[in-house]
């Protein structure tokens, strides 16, 4: 590219490129940089636990199927949002979410606190054919989830990668990832106790899809749905009142 | 590709062999993973191209006089890609729209379920259709306004085919479950890396062409293309910083988490709108509008002011996608303020375009192509006004999460992006294929009305459904409880979902008509004598007046 | 230096404003600089030339 550096005209082009970069980058830097110091101002959540391997696998299925395209996971600070879905979402609740799944469209309802709202059985029926439980629904059916075995062998590397982006999984968790995933979906197995030891007593161990002979993608997805909003209780301790939306009926 | 020199052919073959090897490596490392499928696709793609290169490599040496002409072959292929992706992407849009009204239309197959074809739609239209249109027109505009030929004959092909490989990897990935879930950046890490290589080549090619220019001043359309190329590179790299699970996995985890991720994502997302769907298409506007209307732009200075305004303000506005969320309050307010200020440069651009046509309205009446461009400017003004309005927090509290956003998106996407693209294509196609005019002016007219009606139906349906939905969610009974369940609000949506699918279908039919018309134009006879009077090399007989220009 | 959230936010808010003003001044000066006028006028009209070949 010597022709590029030597001619006088080219200086215009290069200068121009620099001007664009300068003009364009400041806005982003100003807004994004301070967010990396946010830990100081964010709410505290000492009780925050991590996703179990099974839940993480379920989260990846949620991503794969594009559930985020129709369901948000972000309850806004508005009164009607809070009354419909529960306490508004706090920053700390998605602290370990790589990526975040806040969503931008509610073709279906918000799922940020759906955990524990319905039974496992309901979820399995709903995912297999939504119109069996909600006749008016336009959600797609996911019948293949219950038929497809979950891939367990690489869960350890998933946890390890999560750790390299900042999620504090321990060596023990990484080494036992596949066992824990199995144990969480098969309550009577000997692997089951390890899950609560490593991830806390509140962890739900259950035959999510109703079948205990094998672990399917349905197990993983339901496990994930059941933990949504239940990694920490911080949101229930937060006492700030929700904002009033400009309500035409007021 | 007939104009490639032997050296360029060798280089192309070497690149393709290297790519094929990468494909084999991916297929091997990802045997147990969707990555393997993508390896096979990469391999196949490079083999097909290699075959094409080889089969022409024994042809005659390229005509030495080619350097005194513009290099338009890649543009022709780019136009074909644009038309293909338009139909592909809009077909998936119509299908997705139909699934929301009749959910069984996915036939219970995994690959066709809504969550997977929706990103296929958005990627197909934004990156496939929009991206190819931007690349093709930018090659045309930069050569014409610089009065210079592209500096070499290999890199334009590399950019074009490389870019389409990215699109193919992205779209096929969604069908087999490969996605990062970041809106408008769903493609996984290896496709993203590949796009970086392609994009750097594109940037260098653009700068080198500008460096060869014979005009001292860089015409403003090129500014917009430059901003598009540069800023998209920055956005793409930062938003897609991820760590793959392993080299044999398609899956990766982004380094950003939670609230930071949300800000990075929407800083990206909003500026993808700004620099992909706005800046690049404004470049088309500033070139093809004056060309088609045969009138200079109303105010060149205004176009400069609005250029810097857009470049500067847009980058601050991303946080309006996160109103009332866990993002700190001050960032939300900053985003809102800048979004409102954005209206000034946006309307300056739209106004500049419409004022250019002032005094030439009879042309707009008679020429459907010009009407496409005019309507695009109008919808640009409309959707930016709407955007600034939606960015105001109380308004957003109603509109966010509803179909109103989708209505806004498509007022921009159909009304602005697609209309300006077709207007530009109808100007570009006869010019580079040396045809007197399009095959059928009547079909252009038909396309215009299909597109216009489709857009209006789509947008009105979504405005209605969005506002109804938003109001139902927040309606309280006398006793102070919520009046409607979520399902109540869903039920109210069905008529609008059907209307939207119908509007989209009209738009899709319009795209098919356009493709047919362009196809027939290309097949038709060139202008008598083989060359348009304005495309003869310098040595040939010049029409009056043309000879006096190059002297400056 | 201790980068706390507060200092960063402060800096972002104040310098952002100065930057905005400075930037717009530069752009305005460039656009309305009298010597540039002729250039812009030429650019505006030149693209309409029906002269479809590279200049040599
Ligand atoms: C034939 C015409 C089209 C139809 C029927 C159509 C239909 C759709 C549908 C059904 C959705 C999903 C909305 C939802 O989730 O509720 C969508 C989303 C989207 N479409 Fe289209 N579309 C069309 C053309 C286009 C074009 C030409 C573009 C861009 C150039 C475009 C860009 C988008 C974008 C960006 C989204 C995502 C919106 C969001 O996330 O809020 N569409 N479209
Ligand atoms: C001044 C210009 C504009 C402003 C201030 C603006 C503002 C906004 C706002 C406030 C939203 C809603 C965010 C939410 O509630 O989720 C939005 C969404 C969107 N706008 Fe615009 N807009 C502008 C122009 C445009 C144009 C010209 C286009 C398109 C071609 C466009 C495409 C989109 C898309 C694709 C989304 C959907 C993002 C998503 O949720 O997936 N915007 N815009």
Q: What is the CATH number of the domain that holds B264?
A: 1.20.210.10
How many separate domains does chain B show? 2
Q: How far is CA B74 from CA B71, B132, B213, B432, B469, in A?
A: 8, 11, 20, 11, 46
Among A33-42, B66-75, B242-251, B397-406, the range scoring the smallest mean pLDDT is A33-42
Cβ contact (<8 Å) for B305 and C28?
A: yes
DSSP string, A41-88: TSPP-TT--PPPHHHHHHHHHHHHTTGGGT------SBHHHHHHH-SP
Instruction: Let me know whether B428 and B499 are in one domain.
Output: yes
Q: CB B546 to CB C50 under 8 A?
A: yes
Mutation site, A29, A39, A58, A69, interface B, largest B CB count within 10 A: A69
**Domain for residue B414, yes or no?**
yes
A81: chain B residues, CB-CB within 8 Å:
324
Cα B517 from chain centre: 21
Atom number in ligand 1 closest to CA A107: 16
Interface test with B, best of C5, C48, C51 (most B CBs within 10 A): C51
Q: Where does the pLDDT of residue A242 fall: very low under 50, low under 70, confident under 90, or very high at 90 and above?
A: low
Determine the 3-state secondary structure of B177 from DSSP: coil
Does residue B97 form part of some domain?
yes
Percent of chain A with pLDDT over 70: 84
Q: Say if CB B220 and CB C43 are below 8 A apart.
A: yes
Both B6 and B116 in one domain: the answer is: no
For residue B243, list its beta bridge partners: B253
**Closest alpha carbon within chain B to C34:** B301
In this predicted structure, the answer to whether residue B9 has a pLDDT above a threshold of 80 is yes
Check whether C1 has a pLDDT greater than 50.
no
Assigned domain for B458 exists: yes
CA atoms within 13 A on the CB side of A94: 29
- Chain A nearest-CA residue for C15: A30
For residues B363 and B178, give the distance between their C-alpha atoms in angstroms, rounded to a whole number. Answer: 48
Contact C5 A41 (CB under 8 A): yes
Tell me, yes or no, whether B168 and B193 share the same domain.
yes
Which residue intervals of B176-279 are DSSP H helices?
189-211, 220-239, 258-271
Q: Report which of A206, A197, A183, A235 is spatially closest to residue A43, judged by C-alpha positions.
A: A235
**Whether the predicted pLDDT of B63 surpasses 70:** yes
pLDDT of amino acid B531? 47
Give yes or no for residue B201 CB within 6 A of ligand 1.
Answer: no
Q: For residues B38, B42, B43 and B46, what is the CA-based torsion angle, rounded to 10 degrees?
A: 170
pLDDT tens track for B104-152: 888 888 899 999 999 999 999 999 999 999 999 999 999 988 888 898 8
Closest-approach residue (CA) in chain A for C5: A37
Domain assignment present for residue B537? The answer is no
Ligand 2 atom at shortest distance from the alpha carbon of A105: 40
C13 touches chain B (CB under 8 A): yes
Report yes or no on B548 lying in a domain.
no
Q: CA B130, CA B117: separation in Å to the nearest integer? A: 18
Q: Is the pLDDT reported for residue B157 higher than 70?
A: yes
Taking the Cβ of residue C40 and every Cβ of chain B, the question of whether any pair is shorter than 8 Å is answered with yes
**A92 touches A45 (CB < 8 A):** yes
| B429-482 per-position pLDDT tens digit | 998 998 888 888 899 999 999 999 999 999 999 999 999 999 999 888 888 888
Q: What is the mean pLDDT of residues B228-237?
A: 91
Residues 6 or more apart whose CB falls under 8 angstroms from that of B551 comprise none
Alpha-carbon gap: B394 to the closest alpha carbon of chain A (Å): 7
Which residue, chain included where needed, has tokens 């360029």?
B8
Q: Provide the domain limits for residue B506.
A: 76-526
- Contact at CB, C5 and A31, closer than 8 angstroms: no
Give the pLDDT band (50/70/90) at residue B1.
low
- Rounded to the nearest integer, the mean pLDDT of chain B is 88
Quote ipTM for the complex: 0.90
B-contacting chains (≥3 CB pairs under 8 Å): A, C
Inspect the interface and report whether the beta carbons of B219 and C47 lie closer than 8 Å: yes
Answer yes or no: is the C-beta of B405 below 6 A from any ligand 1 atom: yes
Same domain? For B110 and B26 the reply is: no
Query: Do B233 and B183 sit in the same domain of this protein?
Result: yes
Same domain, B153 and B28: no
Same domain, B3 and B100: no
**B448 to each of A76, B291, B362, B379, B452, how far by Cα in Å?**
41, 19, 17, 14, 6
Higher per-residue pLDDT: A11 or C36: C36
Examine residue B347 and state whether it is found in any structural domain, yes or no: yes
Encode pLDDT of A79-130 as tens digits: 888 889 988 888 888 889 999 999 999 999 999 999 889 999 999 999 999 9
Q: What global pTM score does this model have? A: 0.91
Q: Any idea which residue has 């690149």 for tokens?
A: B15
Copy the structure tokens of residue B247. 């080299």
Helices (H) and strands (E) in chain B, counts: 19, 2
Give the whole-angstrom CA distance, residue C11 versus residue B469.
41
Hey, what are B546's tokens?
A: 């043309």
Domain boundaries, chain C: 9-48
For residue B457, give the nearest of B468, B447, B449 by alpha carbon. B449
């Amino acid at each position: 590219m010597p022709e590029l550096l030597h001619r006088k005209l080219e200086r215009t082009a290069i200068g121009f490129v620099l001007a664009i970069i300068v003009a364009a980058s400041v806005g982003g830097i100003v807004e994004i940089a301070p967010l990396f110091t946010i830990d100081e101002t964010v709410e505290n959540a000492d009780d925050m636990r991590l996703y179990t391997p099974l839940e993480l696998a379920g989260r990846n299925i949620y991503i794969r199927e594009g559930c985020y395209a129709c369901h948000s996971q972000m309850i806004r600070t508005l009164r009607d949002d809070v009354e419909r879905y529960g306490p508004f979402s706090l920053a700390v609740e998605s602290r370990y979410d790589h990526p975040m799944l806040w969503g931008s469209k509610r073709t279906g309802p918000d799922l940020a606190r759906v955990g524990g709202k319905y039974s496992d059985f309901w979820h399995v029926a709903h995912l297999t054919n939504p119109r069996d439980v909600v006749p008016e629904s336009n959600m797609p059916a996911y019948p293949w989830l219950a038929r497809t075995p979950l891939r367990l062998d690489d869960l350890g590397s998933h946890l390890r990668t999560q750790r390299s982006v900042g999620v504090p999984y321990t060596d023990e968790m990484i080494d036992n990832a596949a066992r824990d995933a199995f144990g969480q979906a098969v309550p009577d197995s000997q692997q089951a106790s390890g899950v609560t030891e490593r991830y806390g007593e509140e962890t739900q161990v259950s035959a999510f899809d109703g079948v205990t002979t094998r672990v399917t993608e349905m197990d993983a997805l339901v496990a994930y749905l059941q933990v949504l909003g239940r990694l920490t209780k911080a949101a229930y301790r937060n006492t700030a009142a929700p904002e009033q939306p400009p309500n035409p009926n007021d | 590709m007939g104009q490639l020199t032997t050296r360029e052919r060798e280089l192309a073959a070497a690149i393709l062999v290297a790519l094929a090897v990468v494909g084999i490596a991916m297929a091997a490392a990802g045997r147990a993973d969707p990555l393997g499928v993508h390896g096979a696709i990469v391999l196949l793609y490079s083999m097909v191209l290699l075959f094409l290169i080889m089969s022409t490599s024994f042809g005659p040496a390229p005509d030495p006089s080619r350097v005194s002409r513009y290099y338009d072959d890649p543009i022709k292929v780019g136009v074909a890609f644009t038309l293909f992706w338009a139909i592909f992407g809009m077909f998936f849009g119509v299908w997705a729209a139909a699934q929301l009204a009749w959910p069984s239309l996915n036939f219970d197959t995994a690959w066709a379920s809504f969550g997977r074809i929706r990103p296929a739609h958005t990627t197909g239209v934004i990156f496939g259709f929009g991206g190819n249109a931007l690349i093709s027109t930018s090659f045309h505009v930069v050569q014409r306004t610089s009065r210079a030929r592209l500096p070499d004959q290999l890199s334009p092909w590399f950019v074009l085919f490389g870019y389409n490989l990215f699109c193919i990897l992205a779209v096929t990935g969604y069908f087999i479950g490969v996605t990062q879930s970041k809106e408008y950046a769903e493609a996984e890490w290896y496709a993203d890396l590949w796009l970086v290589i392609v994009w750097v080549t594109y940037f260098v090619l653009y700068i080198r062409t500008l460096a060869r220019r014979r005009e001292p001043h860089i015409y403003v359309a090129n500014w917009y293309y430059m901003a598009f190329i540069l800023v998209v590179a920055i956005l793409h790299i930062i938003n897609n910083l991820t760590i793959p699970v392993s080299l044999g996995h398609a899956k990766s985890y982004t380094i950003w988490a939670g609230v930071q991720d949300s800000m990075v994502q929407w800083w990206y997302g909003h500026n993808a709108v700004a620099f992909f769907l706005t800046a690049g298409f404004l470049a088309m506007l500033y070139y093809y509008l004056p060309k088609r209307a045969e009138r200079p732009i109303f105010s060149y200075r205004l176009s400069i002011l609005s250029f810097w305004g857009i470049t500067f303000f847009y980058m601050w506005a991303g946080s309006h996608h996160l109103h009332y969320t866990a993002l700190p309050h001050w960032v939300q307010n900053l985003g809102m303020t800048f979004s409102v200020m954005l209206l000034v440069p946006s309307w300056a651009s739209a106004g500049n375009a419409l004022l250019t046509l002032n005094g030439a309205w009879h042309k707009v009446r008679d020429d459907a192509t010009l009407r496409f461009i005019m309507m695009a400017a109008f919808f640009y003004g409309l959707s930016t006004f709407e955007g600034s309005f939606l960015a105001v927090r109380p308004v957003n509290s109603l509109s966010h999460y509803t179909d109103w956003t989708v209505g806004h998106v498509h007022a921009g996407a159909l009304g602005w992006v697609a209309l300006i693209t077709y207007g530009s294509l109808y100007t570009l196609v006869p010019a580079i294929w040396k045809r007197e005019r399009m095959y059928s002016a009547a079909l252009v007219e038909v396309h215009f009305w299909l597109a216009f009606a489709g857009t209006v139906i789509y947008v009105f349906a979504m405005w209605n459904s969005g506002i109804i939905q938003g109001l139902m969610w927040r309606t309280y009974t006398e006793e102070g409880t919520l009046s409607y369940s979520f399902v109540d609000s869903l039920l109210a949506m069905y008529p609008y979902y059907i209307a939207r699918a119908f509007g989209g279908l009209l738009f899709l039919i319009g795209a098919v008509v356009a493709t047919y018309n362009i196809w027939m134009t290309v097949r038709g006879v060139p202008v008598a004598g083989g060359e348009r009077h304005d495309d003869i090399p310098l040595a040939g007989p010049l029409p009056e007046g043309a000879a006096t220009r190059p002297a400056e | 230096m201790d980068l706390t959230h507060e200092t960063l936010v402060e800096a972002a808010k104040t310098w952002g404003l100065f930057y905005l003003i400075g930037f717009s001044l530069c752009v305005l000066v460039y656009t309305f600089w009298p010597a540039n006028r002729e250039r812009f006028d030429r650019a505006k009209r030149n693209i309409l030339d029906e002269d479809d070949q590279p200049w040599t």
